[in-house]
Structure 1
Amino acid sequence: MQGVRYIYHHSYTCLLLVSVVLILFHPALSIHFSILSSTETLTISGNRTLVSPGDVFELGFFTPGSSSRWYLGIWYKRVYFRTYVWVANRDNPLSNSIGTLKISNMNLVLLDHSNKSVWLTNLTRGNDRSPVVAELLPNGNFVIRYFNNNDASGFLWQSFDYPTDTLLPEMKLGYDLKKGLNRFLTSWRSSDDPSSGEISYKLENRELPEFYLLQNGFEVQRSGPWNGVRFSGIPENQKLSYMVYNFTENSEEVAYTFRMTNNSIYSRLKVSYDGYLQRLTLFPISVVWNLVWSSPVDLRCDVHKACGSYSYCDGNTLPLCNCIQGFDPWNMQLWSIGEAVGGCIRRTHLSCNGDGFTRMKNMKLPETTMAIVDRSIGVKECKKRCLSDCNCTAFANVDIRNGGTGCVIWTAELIDIRTYYDDGQDLYVRLAAADLDKKRNANWKIISFIVGVSVVLLLMIMFCLWKRKQNQAKAMATSI
């Protein structure tokens, strides 16, 4: 009986040892930690990382590409090709493989080989009696919070407020008005250098906010305002079945975000170092990221202010730049050789009485720097309001859903406009009565010409039919 007990005990011990080995060395069974306490550290030599619940994201030290410098960052854990989404010390790397991340005085601090701080969260002191922890959340957000408070509103600091080149689901891009933060994306300098690059994507907060793609601070491309479905200047950003977009504008924030409705699909927005805003998606059956869309698409028409004021870019015409009806090129000589930056000027000055509007379809709305917005009225009231303001140059709906709602009025030059084949929205440009009459006269000429040609063709057909009958009658008389 004792032998049986011994064999049973020995078997149990072996089974326990095998289980421990499996847990330690099998990735699917490994025990991961997502929390760093105030008594713990992460070091490069220790090779320890934090892994988010669900095993989607991992935080640790890394060296990108051929670089010898070390960074603290976050990447997708289960993606075959290492994909970084956030870098803490992007502009102050560790020069060698000695680095320590710890919590000190309620702040995260990254120390180099000489124990000098190269990055910290720079929080002001709070309640010292309550211990704090750092945690990597399931959505990839790295936060500092009190040990006993898991509520998002109680986060003391979060990486989502300080993005690098990537926008993840549930991150917000734009203004947090309560904190005074403008969260924007800045590209890497190169494929193996995470330091701040030349390209950024930033929200301009105005009555009708817009995002700008910038290169060294200069405007390269404009998103157009949010039209209730998407940004009017990025028609490629179509509705996807596995994703929901949202743009919030209130007293607390002005921000864009998106979330996934299918968590088995990964998706992110990225600003690339070569100058593009990209939507990248990874499907469960793939090992490489799929480029869903990239902006700018048409480098001829998507470039900011490609055609000057009161003109619009059309990728299907030559030349690309066209004056709005009722306007002529400011400099015909330059215009004729394709230099359209001077834009167009009115043929007839507005009189503030008897003016009207020309409707331009499928347009990217003009830059909204001097725009006035009233979301409580519709297009008819908007037209009346524009006519009552002698400075009004154009108007449009703010929201294109449900037949169009809201009102945006421009009181300055109309710039950075383009037309799309089947996207965009209606823009109503104010014209003097004389220029409207010219259009009406031109329309009547076209209609008259069409009617005249139709009548002539009808008469010819009738004559041919009559002639045919005549010939048939003669043939019958001859045969008799």
Structure 2
Amino acid sequence: MRILFFLPFLLNLLSNSSALDSLKGPQYITDGQNLISANDTFQLGFFSTGASTNRFLGIWFNEAPQTVVWIANRDRPIYNSSGVLSISENGNLELTDTYMGNTVWFSNSTYTTNPTSVQLLESGNLVLRDLITNGILWQSFDWPTNTFLPGMKIGKNLKTGHEWSLASWLTSDNPENGKYHYTMDWQGSPEIVMWYGTTKRYRTGSWIGLRFSGIPEMSTYQDMFSFYFTNNSDEISFGYSSKPGALPSRVTLNESGVVQRLVWVQNISSWSTFWSGPRDQCDYYSKCGAFGVCNANAATICSCLQGFVPKSPINWYMRDNSQGCVRRVELGGDKAYGFYVVKGVKLPDTHSAIVETIINLDQCREKCLHNYSCVAYSAADTRNGGSGCIMWFDNLVDTRFIDGGQVLYIKVAQSEIGTFLYL
């Protein structure tokens, strides 16, 4: 009788002790047990960081256990090994601190009376499914922490308001939400922005068809990754996928405010940095102020755009460029004006810009020329010689020279065309 009484408990314990990629019904995992994706790429389990004994439920690369890519309870650690991950009665995924007797984290998916299961996929995505409809009720890819994996998104669901974004760890040993965030600015011409609190620190530049304006390096990754950008009435988002045979990769926002694209090199068992941003002084937001342009290869990195002079010459001479530049000759009245062409730049901040996708560059020029408030324009898409239109009606901020950069057309008085850039 005693054996029969304990048999269900023993069977459940045995099912949890083997290497599984999924949980169903009454199954659970405790601290020390893991879910392992089908081809052993990712593990889910409990871990600690540094010298701390705090326990977190997370997902990491199997070959690189120190590389955690997602955390369930990053702001609510469990202070001992009493954590249990299970499926609750209402079908949700639930993390419980059995010592304290409380729920630390749960998936907060739609309530269902149908049976559900949770599975760790080869992509690193933890997916909660309805076993009757096979529909996805919740997935970890919708709730990134500090890491962006192939198949994830950064952006916004315009229907629900849900945002996909990254938040750095607080320190290298503390996975709590840190001071840096990496989010999609979906206003104007969409671009990804890194924030330090409420201050812009870095931006990718707008999406120009195949890549972001400020990351020409993306063109060199085409043999490894496919990039996709969605901009419709449902969502605005960016994501990428790995091509067959590509090495494991990730994009990480670290605790120092640097975003890095990393690729795993198996023969040295280490991550190789393919790109990072900010990459230099000119990548820091608005380094040269309004209507300034930054050149990382120049002895004096800040200069004024054609037709503009420092707002405060004294401060500018002392290398304080924060006040930026102002027009040397104001537009308006009966003054003739045209456009000065600046080549090879990361386009200015597009948050307040106006975008028209169905007109060509000549039509864009005419629209900007005959609108007094328009100060500059450029192609919205650089493919096939350029198409679409971005128009700026405010200060041009965060412009920089960059290899493989775009062409920017700046409206200036006719008398300014053909003169030299103010240094």
1:137 aligns with 2:121: yes
Distance, in Å, in 2 between the alignment partners of 1:264 and 1:366 is 33
Distance, in Å, in 2 between the alignment partners of 1:244 and 1:284 is 22
Distance, in Å, in 2 between the alignment partners of 1:294 and 1:409 is 29
1:333 aligns with 2:338: no
1:427 aligns with 2:411: no
TM-score calculated relative to the size of structure 2? 0.91
1:295 to 265, 268, 277: 277
Distance, in Å, in 1 between the alignment partners of 2:397 and 2:284 is 12
3-state SS in 2 of match to 1:285: helix
Distance, in Å, in 2 between the alignment partners of 1:111 and 1:100 is 5
Give the 3 Å change call, closer, same or farther, for CA 80–410 of structure 1 in structure 2. closer
Q: Is the 8 A contact 2:224 2:246 kept in 1?
A: no
1:100 corresponds to which residue?
Answer: 84
2:44 to 59, 63, 81: 59
Q: Is the 8 A contact 1:243 1:262 kept in 2?
A: no
User: Equivalent residues in 2 for 1:58-457 (5 A)?
Assistant: 58-77=43-62, 79-104=63-88, 105-112=90-97, 113-126=99-112, 128=113, 130-150=114-134, 154-240=135-221, 241-263=223-245, 265-298=247-280, 300-351=281-332, 354-420=336-402, 422-436=403-417, 439=419
* Deviation readout 1:218-242 (Å, 9 max, x if unpaired): 2111111011121112233333211
In structure 1, runs of 5+ residues without a counterpart are 1-23, 25-29, 444-480
* Deviation readout 1:328-358 (Å, 9 max, x if unpaired): 1111111111111111111111127632000
Distance, in Å, in 2 between the alignment partners of 1:147 and 1:123 is 14
Distance, in Å, in 2 between the alignment partners of 1:218 and 1:327 is 26
* Deviation readout 1:340-380 (Å, 9 max, x if unpaired): 11111111111276320000000111111221111111111
Aligned length in residues: 402
After TM superposition, the structure 1 stretch with the greater mean CA deviation from structure 2, 49-58 or 93-102, is: 49-58
2:22 corresponds to which residue?
Answer: 35
Distance, in Å, in 2 between the alignment partners of 1:286 and 1:178 is 45
Give the 3 Å change call, closer, same or farther, for CA 216–163 of structure 1 in structure 2. same
3-state SS in 1 of match to 2:366: helix
Tell me which protein shows more helix as a share of its residues: 1
**Post-superposition shift, 1:423?**
1.6
Distance, in Å, in 1 between the alignment partners of 2:95 and 2:245 is 32
Which one scores higher on RCO, CA 8 angstroms, separation ≥ 6?
Answer: 2
CA RMSD of aligned residues (A): 1.9
Distance, in Å, in 1 between the alignment partners of 2:116 and 2:228 is 32
Amino acid at match of 2:123: N
Distance, in Å, in 2 between the alignment partners of 1:289 and 1:315 is 27
**Post-superposition shift, 1:149?**
3.8
Distance, in Å, in 2 between the alignment partners of 1:66 and 1:60 is 18
Q: Is the 8 A contact 2:290 2:325 kept in 1?
A: yes
Q: Is the 8 A contact 1:308 1:416 kept in 2?
A: yes
Distance, in Å, in 1 between the alignment partners of 2:256 and 2:347 is 26
Give the 3 Å change call, closer, same or farther, for CA 167–283 of structure 1 in structure 2. same
Amino acid at match of 2:105: W
1:460 corresponds to which residue?
Answer: none
Amino acid at match of 2:47: F
Of structures 1 and 2, the larger Rg is shown by: 1
Distance, in Å, in 1 between the alignment partners of 2:119 and 2:204 is 34
3-state SS in 2 of match to 1:223: strand
Distance, in Å, in 2 between the alignment partners of 1:383 and 1:327 is 20
Distance, in Å, in 2 between the alignment partners of 1:200 and 1:374 is 29
Q: Is the 8 A contact 2:110 2:137 kept in 1?
A: no
Tell me which protein shows more strand as a share of its residues: 2
Amino acid at match of 2:259: L
* Deviation readout 1:168-223 (Å, 9 max, x if unpaired): 10111111223321111111122221111112111111131111112223211111
Q: Is the 8 A contact 1:81 1:287 kept in 2?
A: no
Distance, in Å, in 2 between the alignment partners of 1:114 and 1:392 is 61
3-state SS in 2 of match to 1:301: helix
Q: Is the 8 A contact 2:213 2:346 kept in 1?
A: yes
* Deviation readout 1:433-478 (Å, 9 max, x if unpaired): 2222x63xx89xxxxxxxxxxxxxxxxxxxxxxxxxxxxxxxxxxx
In structure 2, runs of 5+ residues without a counterpart are 1-13
Give the 3 Å change call, closer, same or farther, for CA 234–352 of structure 1 in structure 2. farther
Distance, in Å, in 2 between the alignment partners of 1:90 and 1:217 is 21
After TM superposition, the structure 1 stretch with the greater mean CA deviation from structure 2, 82-91 or 32-41, is: 32-41
Distance, in Å, in 1 between the alignment partners of 2:348 and 2:388 is 16
After TM superposition, the structure 1 stretch with the greater mean CA deviation from structure 2, 382-391 or 204-213, is: 204-213
Distance, in Å, in 1 between the alignment partners of 2:197 and 2:48 is 26
**Post-superposition shift, 1:263?**
4.2
1:469 corresponds to which residue?
Answer: none
Q: Is the 8 A contact 2:203 2:285 kept in 1?
A: yes
Q: Is the 8 A contact 2:347 2:406 kept in 1?
A: yes
Q: Is the 8 A contact 1:61 1:71 kept in 2?
A: yes
**Post-superposition shift, 1:277?**
0.4
